[in-house]
Amino acid sequence: MTLGWIQEALASAPVQHALVAGSEIAFLSGLVGAFVILRGQSFAGHVLTDVGTTGGAGAYLVGLNGWFGFLSFGVIASVGMELAGGRTRGERDLATGVVLSLALGFGALFLYLDAQLAHANASMAVLFGSLFTLDPALVPWISSLAAVCAAAMLLIWRPLALASVNPELARVRGVPVRAMSIAFMVVLAVAVETDALVAGSLLATALIVGPAAAAARFVSNPLRAGVAAGVLGAAIVVASVLLSYDSYNWLPQHTSWPVSFFVAALAFLAYVVPAAARRFGVRRMAEVTEA
Amino acid sequence: MNPAIVFRDLTVSYGHRPVFANLTGQIQAGSFVGVLGPNGAGKSTLLKVLAGLIRPAAGSVEIDGRPVKRRAESIGYVPQAVQMDEDVPLTGRDLVGLGLDGHRLGFPLPTRRRREAIEAALAEVNALHLADRRIGRLSGGERQRLLIAQAIVSRPRVLLLDEPLNNLDLASTQQVVELVKRLAHEGEMAVLLVAHDVNPLIGRADEILYLANGRMAMGPIDEVLRSEVLSDLYGYPVEVLRAAGRIIVAAGAMDGHAHAVSAASPEASVMLP
């Protein structure tokens, strides 16, 4: 078997852009994902993808790049959820659910209008991702935004962790707990909404939840789990981009399989395979002890 | 003797609803005080005022002779036992470490001093064996002991515990209360523990602070949990019953029925005909 196709893939500009932007945002997503688990906020991640759908579809409608729509709606929604939410998690989820259905209603309208009036392909791009058709001008923006957000996470991870497990003690020690929550939600929004470019808004949380859940099984410190999840996520995106490129030759009709499928499949494998291996390993050890 | 906490004329209201008014008292270092009273009497609010988290409408709080301020390392705070997912990536050691320097940015320097401070706090709550376990996989009582270690790792002068016994079984409740008593007496800390039920505190707390009807009574359990004192506090007749070493507070209500609970406050969780 020859690996010449990988060299060929790496020589292509869209593949290069996809690899750079995709792996950077995947690293941020894994890092953020560990704190989503610590804070029990995976519901918020799902909300942001749904609201992002509306923003992305709306952006195509007015002729903007989808990323700006995803990002602006996601950031507004994340701050709004923090500010408007009730005191308990239940109240917050309820308030979020109501706003969410309104946003999704508009999302449905925008996707329909996209298909009728603007871009026939817009709804495919919004829902399933558009990594290979990424505007090259966006790559530096995505890179620097991901870098700034990752740096911010590394800077605030301790106060954020303290505010997550014991908000009163955090406030006694002078941590601005509210500001921490808002900052985290904005970083989460950046990660989720940029993931929507990679894996589509339907699967944007795959890169947040999957690698972090896999890493959290083996690494028990939030920061180390986050970094491990980030590296895993980046590896998943690199593999997905290359597989998607190669899949052009898999069927006689010659059509590339979407990156989002590979991302979801690999994230699932990363979560399931180690667990299965561990269970198998435990059983084998049990047999050894019996023998 | 120098009191660790002094509060004068504390008045707090939420909107137009007054929570309590003109509370004055002091708590000595090395003293373990249980905070009791019916729901909504402001037990947790009082704790938050003492911690500097809520600004009172009137009155003042001094910790060690100085007005309470934000960024206080001299105060430890333990919340209610919380549920955590099993796979949450946080160990007992991480949890305690956050109590030492969790308010700082960036990474902790892995110094020997830091490690020893964390181990000492873990040892004080008998939780050295939980250091590398994930907090989501511990029992409520084990997690609560780690939260106490988190609160005391910075060597505070004042330890505030807001309903730390909720959701704990009887054995864990007694373990936590014994631990808190030992920390107060040996560590020379002023400890306030908010509880629903006075019974786990009997023979362990030095004093109780009973809040009701916007006012408070403070003193040893036997002096405060008396019919005259509580009737005066509530403004209507309250009976204090002692049976088999337990205390039950019962109120004769206006409709002729008696309400009773074992939680040492006359709330209508059990209706007696």
* Per-residue confidence (pLDDT) for residue B214, from 0 to 100: 93
CB contact under 8 A, B48 and A161: no
* Per-residue confidence (pLDDT) for residue B97, from 0 to 100: 96
pLDDT-derived band of residue B30, with 50, 70 and 90 as boundaries? very high
CB contact under 8 A, B147 and A217: no
As given in the structure block, the two tokens for residue A68 are 């700006």
B167 vs B113: which has the higher pLDDT = B113
Q: Write down the pTM of the prediction.
A: 0.88
Helix (H) or strand (E) holding B139: none
A30 neighbourhood in chain B, CB within 8 Å: none
pLDDT-derived band of residue B110, with 50, 70 and 90 as boundaries? confident
As given in the structure block, the two tokens for residue A79 are 């701050």
Q: pLDDT (tens digit, 9 = 90+) per residue, B223-244?
A: 999 999 999 998 888 888 888 8
Structural domain count, chain A:
1
Helix (H) or strand (E) holding B7: strand B3-14
Measured CA distances, B178 to A157, A192, B118, B202, B263 (Å): 34, 47, 21, 11, 19
Domain annotation covers residue B11: no
Q: Are B213 and B236 in contact (CB under 8 A)?
A: no
A221 neighbourhood in chain B, CB within 8 Å: 89-91, 94
Of A154, A166, A216, the CB nearest to B87: A216
pLDDT-derived band of residue B272, with 50, 70 and 90 as boundaries? very low
* Per-residue confidence (pLDDT) for residue B259, from 0 to 100: 45
As given in the structure block, the two tokens for residue A59 are 């952006």
pLDDT tens digits in sequence order for chain A, 291 residues long: 567 888 888 888 989 999 999 999 999 999 999 999 999 888 888 889 889 999 999 998 888 888 999 999 999 988 888 887 655 666 767 777 777 888 899 999 999 998 888 677 888 888 888 888 888 999 999 999 999 999 999 999 999 999 999 999 999 999 999 999 999 999 999 999 999 988 888 888 899 999 999 999 899 999 999 999 999 999 999 999 999 999 988 988 888 899 999 999 999 999 898 878 877 776 555 555 544
Domain annotation covers residue B165: no
CB contact under 8 A, B105 and A158: yes
pLDDT-derived band of residue B98, with 50, 70 and 90 as boundaries? very high
What does R_g of chain A's alpha carbons equal in angstroms? 20
Residue B272: name the closest of B263, B259, B262 by CA: B259
Q: For residue B266, give the DSSP letter.
A: -
Beta bridge partners of B23: B10
As given in the structure block, the two tokens for residue A13 are 């500009």
pLDDT-derived band of residue B219, with 50, 70 and 90 as boundaries? very high
* Per-residue confidence (pLDDT) for residue A117, from 0 to 100: 84
CB contact under 8 A, A172 and B98: no
Judged by CB atoms within 8 Å, which residues 54-113 of B form the interface with A?
70-73, 75-79, 82, 85, 87-91, 94-95, 98-99, 101-108
* Per-residue confidence (pLDDT) for residue A254, from 0 to 100: 87
Residue B264 has pLDDT above 70, yes or no: no
Query: Domain range spanning residue B244?
Result: 222-272
CB contact under 8 A, B105 and A220: no
Domain annotation covers residue B18: no
* Per-residue confidence (pLDDT) for residue B56, from 0 to 100: 94
Structural domain count, chain B:
2
Q: How far is B202 from chain A (nearest CA, A)?
A: 28
**Residues contacting residue B15 through CB under 8 Å, at least 6 positions apart:** none
Which of B153, B169, B201 terminates a domain? The answer is B153
CB contact under 8 A, B52 and A172: yes
Domain annotation covers residue B26: no
Q: pLDDT (tens digit, 9 = 90+) per residue, B45-82?
A: 999 999 999 999 999 999 988 888 777 789 999 988 77
Residue of B nearest to A166 (CA): B79
Q: What is the 3-state secondary structure (H, E, C) of A155-188?
A: HHHHHHHHHHHCHHHHHHCCCCHHHHHHHHHHHH
ipTM confidence = 0.89
* Per-residue confidence (pLDDT) for residue B58, from 0 to 100: 94
A275 vs B171: which has the higher pLDDT = B171
Spell out the alpha helix ranges (H) of chain B. Answer: 43-50, 92-101, 112-124, 140-152, 170-187, 221-224, 227-234
pLDDT-derived band of residue B92, with 50, 70 and 90 as boundaries? very high
Residue type, A210: G
Q: How far apart are CA A49 and CA A73, in angstroms?
A: 10
**Residues contacting residue A283 through CB under 8 Å, at least 6 positions apart:** none
Domain annotation covers residue B148: yes
A166 neighbourhood in chain B, CB within 8 Å: 77-79, 98-99, 147, 150
Q: How far is A241 from chain B (nearest CA, A)?
A: 29
CB atoms within 10 A of CB A217: 16
CB atoms within 10 A of CB A178: 13
* Per-residue confidence (pLDDT) for residue A1, from 0 to 100: 52
As given in the structure block, the two tokens for residue B133 are 């376990």
Minimum mean pLDDT among A5-9, A269-273, B99-103, B127-131: which range?
A5-9
Domain annotation covers residue B170: no
Q: For position A242, which CATH number holds?
A: 1.10.3470.10
* Per-residue confidence (pLDDT) for residue B223, from 0 to 100: 93
Q: How far apart are CA A199 and CA A260, in angstroms?
A: 4
Q: How far is B109 from chain A (nearest CA, A)?
A: 12
As given in the structure block, the two tokens for residue A209 are 């939840």
Which of B129, B153, B177 terminates a domain? The answer is B153
Residue B38: name the closest of B239, B271, B234, B270 by CA: B234
Residue B16 has pLDDT above 70, yes or no: yes
Domain annotation covers residue B131: yes
* Per-residue confidence (pLDDT) for residue A192, from 0 to 100: 94
B75 neighbourhood in chain A, CB within 8 Å: 172
Tell how far CA A52 is from the center of its chain: 12
Q: pLDDT (tens digit, 9 = 90+) per residue, A15-32?
A: 999 999 999 999 999 999
Residue B256 has pLDDT above 60, yes or no: no
Mutation site, A37, A162, A164, A169, interface B, largest B CB count within 10 A: A169
* Per-residue confidence (pLDDT) for residue A88, from 0 to 100: 63
B271 vs A234: which has the higher pLDDT = A234
CB contact under 8 A, B90 and A165: yes
Query: Domain range spanning residue A160?
Result: 4-290
CB contact under 8 A, B103 and A161: no
As given in the structure block, the two tokens for residue B262 are 């074992």
Mutation site, A168, A178, A180, A221, interface B, largest B CB count within 10 A: A168
